[in-house]
Structure 1
């Protein structure tokens, strides 16, 4: 994979280093941070009502899935 050398301050390096996982590259840290930033940029694109509706649907879906799993476990007993 091609690479580029960049110059950053010691402060920026130390911040990245703190965020870096044991087996994670600095490239992976930077990519992870930018994917988070992109998600944060979506903030405000839907109304609170739409967000609450989505949250409720997700919770209902999770509950339905949990019940399905419980039924499967009951059949295996």
Structure 2
């Protein structure tokens, strides 16, 4: 049952990540998850894929927030145009 819930969550995150961060990152995370599937089991593989995609999405969101803060700051070093 847990694996089924993880698979549903992973599918949603993968679809979101394909739109938000791009294909390359999703393929790398899924490749690592497939290696985990070969050597351990489906629960571990789904967990790795879920955490990997979630961490990258979180990184992308924080990167956008920081970029927006610098764009709105007139004294920022990033706005030396």
**TM-score, structure 1 normalization:** 0.40
Higher normalized contact order (CA 8 Å, seq sep 6+, divided by chain length) = 2
State the structure with more CA Rg. 1
Length-normalised TM-score, structure 2: 0.38
Q: Give the number of the structure whose residues are more often helix, by fraction.
A: 2
